[in-house]
Amino acid sequence: MDGEVPEFESLTPVEWRVVQYYRGLYKQDREWILRMLSALVEQTVRE
């Protein structure tokens, strides 16, 4: 791991807020967020 930057250290402050928000959600909300993000990624990849 010499010279490698751990992934968490490369996150921007905004990305960290998203991670912290996600961690604070209940399981049902997390599942909904993941479905929504998956749908957005799928649409983006098609274009």
Distance between CA atoms of residues 18 and 11, nearest Å = 10
The pLDDT tens digits for 1-47 are 445 555 667 888 998 898 889 899 999 999 999 999 899 999 888 76
Given this model, what pLDDT does residue 28 score?
A: 95
State both tokens at 31: 């599942």
pTM: 0.57
pLDDT for position 1? 44
Rounded CA gap, 33 and 47, in Å? 22
Q: How much is the pLDDT for 36?
A: 92
